Amino acid sequence: MESDAILNLSNLISNDFTKAVELIYKSKGRVVITGIGKSAIIASKIVATLNSTGTPSVFMHAADAIHGDLGLILKDDIVICISKSGNTPEIKVLAPLIKRANNKMIAMTGNPDSFLGQQADFILNTFVEKEACPNNLAPTTSTTAQLVMGDALAVCLLDLRGFSSKDFAKYHPGGALGKKLYLRVQDISSVNTKPQVTPETSIKNVIIEISEKMLGVTAVVEDNKIIGIITDGDLRRMLSNSDNLTGLTAGDIMSKKPRTIEASAMAIDALDVMEDHSISQLLVEHNGEYAGVVHLHDLIKEGII
């Protein structure tokens, strides 16, 4: 029932939706979103979505608004009132007060002919035939429709603003999501050890270097340029295939042309390379020179995975 109601929303989109988007986009003020009951909870969520995508917004509970919180609305603010019926007592008191202050008002309601609908400058129609509640009482289908309409509004505004993943990262610096958007390879590799040997390094010293640096790998470097890589796996294969290790050097067992990544690349890109090539380490370069190692375990520790 709820999914059918969402599908029907596309049939309810009118020119008012376009005008509402343009009004908010061109506004110098904020978006104040208000409601009562479950609609108030939906209003809070829409506020959070708008704020995180570049449209400054604040929540105002309709009941509190008529008991002092009307002072929250500033001169250039646009008010969105959410109400399924559009005829609740609080909304009937609040709507004329908003109009008297000359703030533009957008109604999100399932009843365009309601008191709220008649007071509003624009209407976002969220009509639903019936609540999913078997008694057709508990707000279920109606609040889902409001939520989806709010997302539609936010996405249209996001698109108009040219809001990019870099902008998104600016508003979401915390947690795994933020790290995927702003954490760079150099942020990880710079705190790791930097294992390296030359092509002439003995196998014994290669083993020591890999063991001491604890990354399961070492770069083979010449004039600070990466010419190869030796992993724990390379050492195991060498021991399986060779009876005499005398005289063997790093240059004899290294893998040439290893996978590398630029230090300035995003950490999430390093994960993509590792997954694509089934490897757990990447050598890092900066301006063509060896800069360190990024390991799969680093990405796990940072919450990228």
- Which amino acid type is present at position 121? D
Q: Are 178 and 170 in contact (CB under 8 A)?
A: no
Q: Is 286 annotated as belonging to a binding site?
A: no
Q: To which residue do tokens 């609305």 refer?
A: 73
Distance CA 37, CA 177 (A): 31
Distances (CA, A) of 246 to 239, 242, 249, 252: 12, 10, 9, 12
Do residues 197 and 213 lie in contact, with contact meaning Cβ atoms separated by under 8 Å?
Answer: no
**Secondary structure (H, E, C), the chain:** CHHHHHHHHHHHCCHHHHHHHHHHHHCCCCEEEEECCHHHHHHHHHHHHHHHCCCCEEEEEHHHHCCCHHHHCCCCCEEEEEECCCCCHHHHHHHHHHHHCCCCEEEEECCCCCHHHHHCCEEEECCCCCCCCCCCCCCCHHHHHHHHHHHHHHHHHHHHHCCCHHHHHHHCCCHHHHHHHHCEHHHHHCCCCCCEECCCCEHHHHHHHHHHHCCCEEEEEECCEEEEEEEHHHHHHHHHHCCCCCCCEHHHHCEECCCEEECCCEHHHHHHHHHHHCCCEEEEEECCEEEEEEEHHHHHHCCCC
Residue ranges of the binding site for Zn(2+): 61
Q: Annotated binding site, which residues?
A: 61
